[in-house]
Structure 1
Amino acid sequence: MERRTFMAMLTGGIVAAPLTAEAQQAAKVARIGYLSGNLASGPHLPEAFRQGLRELGYVEGRNVVIEYRDAEGKFERLPALAAELVALKVDVILAGGILSGRAAKRATRTIPIVFVAADPVGSGLVTSLARPGGNVTGLSFLAPELVGKCLEQLKQAVPGVNRVAALWQPGASGGERTEKDILRGAEVAARALGMRPQFVEARGPADIDRAFSDMTRARAGALTVLTSVMFFSERRRLVDLAAKNRLPAVYPYREFADAGGLMSYGPNVGDLSRRAATYVDKILKGAKPADLPVEQPTKFELVINLKAAKALGLTIPQSVLGRADEVIQ
């Protein structure tokens, strides 16, 4: 009797052991919600995020599941998509851009949110960069001095320019005060470089053609494009219109130069997406978003497209080429 009892306990233990191990393994599967305004405009960004997760030991389908929700450029859908992720009870939400971050923040006050966005303080996502507060933190790719630096690179690459158009989208940076600061900074920088700025706004894709007509009518000699998710999505169109109107242009992200734009100067958004995985990892391991300071870009890369320069009949000075992080032939 005692032997049978012992054997039953032993057998039961042997059977239960793997079940317990399986249960523990199943419990370790993290669920991440990925909220995007337009995945098709930057498929390399979720891939960069997944790469960051892999570097930290996460394997999709084994110990992490990513639930994607994509507004496909229809940003008004973001609140409903954010609500879907909340209903799925994901462990953390990654939000790409200000609008995605806002939608996620409105949908939940408890699920941690990690953003990669332009102006998290001005847009109200966080109370401060050092102490985000609440359930939101992440990485900012906005540096107030970036527009001035872009204009400086443009002037050095095309020294003869004296009229420059600045294409901007109202509301793109998230905060009205930040927007004013950026525009004021652009004007001061342009005049300091001996250029007359012309601010041209485009509220949506339908305004882009008209914006370029305004530039040519004002006889702009060059173009700088300010930070905007919409402009990022429409980058091929912007690059084509700049070429068609023979406008040397500087853009805030390398993706524009990759698409055929003359030059770009700014943070590497793909690298920021990869680094967002570090925030997600810390949160999954118990860190609170409120205790994780917002990371700001520290490295800016200059990319020059010589094919675009040749098409515009430009010779980029060797001093500028020598400083470039990458030269596209």
Structure 2
Amino acid sequence: MKNAKKLLALLLSAVLLAAFAGCGNSGGTAQSQSEEKKLKIGLVKLVDHPSLNEINDSIKTEFEKLGTNVEFIEKNANGETSTLPSIMQSLTGAGVDMIIPIATPTAQAASAATSAIPIVFAAVSAPIEAGLTTSLEAPDKNVTGVSDEIPVEDIFKLAQTLTPDVKTFGFFYNSSEINSVTAVDKAKKFCDDNNIAYKEATVSTTADIQQAASSLANDVDAMFTPIDNMVASAMPTYIDVTNKANVPVYVAADSMVKDGGFATVGINYTLLGQQVAQMADKILKGQKISETPIETMREYSNMVNMKEADLLGIHIPEDVKANLTVLVD
């Protein structure tokens, strides 16, 4: 009998020890799950200007909503493309898990720097022409992202509605930005097809903008500037020149209208940033870049800067106003 009691006590002790051990292991598993690895993302923009800043902030905000444990290493080339290779080298050296470059030159530098770290770009208007992929549907160079291809024809159709008397357009842009060159080529085709005359002037530094814009503005009826990072970063200088010449400037980004451009059919860059973050999150969780098609923003807004319209003496009929998505006062 005593032996039976001793055996029962030993069995109970063993069961209790196993139960406590199980609790300990369960706690360890929960702790390891809560201490999920923090992923590092290199977030790089070419320059400070409203469109790029809007994208940058939107990406970070969307990642907070997604709840993925990430740390952003933010870099800014301050408009100096020559610094981009060293910036990318510093990120690869830091062992980032992903690079999110904002704008075409930044994405090109990231692609040149690594073929191992996933790259998800934001705001590249012409990914194929920029050499980032040979296919939008099946990216083949470790690079995908969200394009901000602009509806050039729609912008010029809007111009024909708002300023029908324009005979000659002036194209003003940085010829070193492939995104700008591609957009201007589309603008030239539209003008050629519609018997509209055009002239152009290009800049290579922001210091060139005032003189080059002044020369062109005095020789045309209206200007067109695509999503050009260099010009966008110096909009006050640009618009001061064109206003003195009494020439409206059609642009390709909503922020450029807010900064003094006359009108656009443009992109909402907050939505673009959200789209980039959602794509990047999927790739961080294991989705292959080659199976992640490059997306293009298709939600455009017709925007007119009414302050510029008043300043330039451009009358916009009420029936035309009714069809504008956004009016900037």
> By the TM > 0.5 criterion, same fold?
yes
- Give the 3-state SS of the residue equivalent to 2:199 in structure 1: strand
* DSSP-derived class of the 2:313 partner: coil
Q: Is 1:57–2:58 an aligned residue pair?
A: no
Query: What SS does the corresponding residue of 1:73 show, helix, strand or coil?
Result: coil
Q: Structure 2 vs 1, CA of residues 187 and 39 (structure 1 numbering), >3 Å: closer, same or farther?
A: closer
Shift, 1:67, TM fit: 1.4
Residues 39 and 12 of structure 1, relative CA distance in 2, 3 Å threshold? farther
Question: Residue 131 in 1 paired to residue 143 in 2?
Answer: no
- Aligned AA for 1:44? E
Compare 8-17 and 30-39 and name the one that shifted more.
8-17
SS at match of 2:191: helix
Partner of 2:153: 148
Deviation at 1:110, TM superposition (A): 1.2
Partners of 1:239 and 1:256 within 8 A in 2: no
Shift of 1:96: 0.4
**Aligned partners of 2:138 and 2:290 also within 8 Å:** yes
The change in CA–CA distance for 1:64 and 1:296 in structure 2 (over 3 A counts) is same
Deviation at 1:199, TM superposition (A): 1.3
Deviation at 1:94, TM superposition (A): 0.7
Judge which range, 76-85 or 13-22, deviates more: 13-22
1:106-128 per-residue CA deviation (whole Å, 9 max, x = no partner) reads: 22111110001121111111121
Q: Normalising to structure 2: TM-score of the pair?
A: 0.87
Q: Which stretches in structure 1 are left out of the alignment for 5+ residues? A: none
1:27 to 14, 32, 36: 36
Q: TM-score, normalised by structure 1?
A: 0.87
What does residue range 98-113 of structure 1 map to in structure 2 within 5 Å?
98-113=104-119
1:85-124 alignment to 2 at 5 Å? Answer: 85-116=91-122, 117-124=124-131
Shift of 1:182: 4.2
Deviations 1:148-171, CA, capped at 9 Å, x for gaps = 322221121012211211112213
Task: Give 2:157's aligned amino acid.
Answer: E
1:316 — aligned with what?
Answer: 316
Task: Tell me which structure has the larger Cα radius of gyration.
Answer: 2
Structure 1 Cα separation of the partners of residues 189 and 134 of structure 2: 28
Alpha carbons of structure 1 residues 5 and 99: separation in structure 2 relative to 1, 3 Å: farther
Partner of 1:77: 83
Q: Distance in 2 between matches of 1:132 and 1:118?
A: 15
C-alpha RMSD of the superposition:
2.5
CA distance in structure 2 between the aligned counterparts of 1:47 and 1:248, rounded to whole angstroms: 30
Q: Map 1:241-320; keep pairs closer than 5 Å.
A: 241-320=241-320
Say how many residue pairs are matched: 318
CA contact (8 A) 2:303 2:327 kept: yes
**Structure 1 residues 40, 210: closer, same or farther in 2, change over 3 A?**
closer
Q: Distance in 2 between matches of 1:269 and 1:242?
A: 25
Counterpart in 1 of 2:3? none
Decide whether the 8 Å contact of 1:268 with 1:301 is kept in 2. Answer: yes
Are positions 1:170 and 2:175 aligned together? yes
Q: Which amino acid aligns with 1:133?
A: D
